[in-house]
Amino acid sequence: MRKIMATWPRWAGYAAACWSLCYGALGLYWALGGTGFPFGKADPDWEPGLSVLGAVTREVAAPLIAVLGLLGGACGLAIARGVRRGRPVLLGFAWAAAAGLTVVVPDNRVLMLVAYAPLLAVWAFTGVPGGQPMSELVPWSRVNLFVVLVGGLLWALAALAHQRRTSGRCTTCGRGGGRIAQWTGPEAARRWGRWAVAVAAIIPAGYDASRFAWAAGIPLGITDEFWHWLDESGLRWAGLFLSLMGLGGAILTLGLVQRWGEVYPRWIWFRAGRRVPPMLAVIPASIVSVIVFSGGLTFWRLRFANDLEWDMWATWAPSLTWPLWGAALAAATLAYHLRRRGTCRTCGQGDPPPATPAPNLVTGPVAGPVAGPVAGPVAGRD
């Protein structure tokens, strides 16, 4: 697996092309009358503002998906083969596909399912509190959003690899022969990365505070009637679980500027003293930042499309800050990557990261300002 990840610039274009052709085939299937079209009012979760594609019809969207899938297949193959002619067009298509499929089309249901994933695994055996069927919690329309997100991530990798390759930069690290920008240096990244980490750790506090209050019997930001429904259905404990996940995620986010994220601390006994692989932080944190940003945009759409009640502000208002949370987490992750990337194994450019002393497993870890991993705090709409 590590070798596959290390060679991503070679296969990203082919993977994006394959995904586009497969999804384009789905579009053709829907255009010919096939079932399962997941957008527009065919979506069982449909409500005004939930999806940016909430107004589309199968008659228009399905053929367009088929055409875009075919174009994406051709574009992905051209990128994989390193075609330089038409570079602006290829990069424009690739980056537009990446942005559209990761941020624009997905909505807060992706974040909701990620946050509820551990509970869903339990509910599959015990049943959902309140008696709701599992098929309603994970319908195809929601699974489709994950499929779309995967496609967007593949297109982002393909676009980045082609942009670096055709500009004479290392496809692995992005370094070129010119002068390195000062803001990308380890010390500079440490300074602005601290601010990004602080923002990314603080913003979810509003969401978490309301769910902790509900679990304690305080209907903060909701009506008494709604709180009684949460209590009777048992869902207030699901909210508490999400808040605990958010708190744990905030602690892990702080790890991006803490030493225990670069070297495993003693309480992780089976790895204590060993170096934390940077990608263990960078990959999940990057994905979570995209999901959070997209989920926050959903609540802005819902806010403008619906007359949301202020006596229920805790169910939507804290989520309006999530785009900033996602952006801050992305910046914090970038800072962590820049500080830890060291010398590139492909091109040999870059200085090795400063040596980090091993922790004292008896008295505790040695203090020092370094970095740490994060999966990012996640939370979903109750």
Kindly state the percentage of the chain with pLDDT values over 90. Answer: 62
Is residue 358 predicted with pLDDT exceeding 50?
A: no
pLDDT surpasses 70 at 368: no
3-state secondary structure of 16: helix
Per-residue confidence at 307, pLDDT binned at 50, 70, 90?
confident
For residues 12 and 130, give the distance between their C-alpha atoms in angstroms, rounded to a whole number.
43
**Mean residue pLDDT across the chain:** 87
- The pLDDT tens digits of the residues spanning 165-185 come to 999 898 888 888 667 788 888
Residue 361 has pLDDT above 50, yes or no: no
Alpha-carbon distance 37 to 41, whole Å? 10
Distance from C-alpha of 328 to C-alpha of 316, rounded to nearest angstrom: 20
Residue 52: HSE in the Cβ half-sphere, 13 Å Cα cutoff: 16
- pTM (2 decimals)? 0.87
101, pLDDT greater than 60: yes
User: Are 376 and 289 spatial neighbours (Cβ–Cβ below 8 Å)?
Assistant: yes
Q: What is the pLDDT of residue 344?
A: 82
What tens digit of pLDDT does each residue of 327-346 get?
999 999 999 999 998 888 88
The count of other CB atoms within 10 Å of the CB of residue 325 is: 28
Which one, of 197, 230, 204, lies nearest residue 328 by Cα? Answer: 197
Under 8 Å between Cβ of 161 and 79: yes
Q: Which residues pair with 275 in a beta bridge?
A: 263
Structure confidence at residue 364 (pLDDT): 39
DSSP string, 65-130: HHHHHHHHHHHHHHHHTT--TTHHHHHHHHHHHHHIIIIIS--HHHHHHHHHHHHHHHHHHH--TT
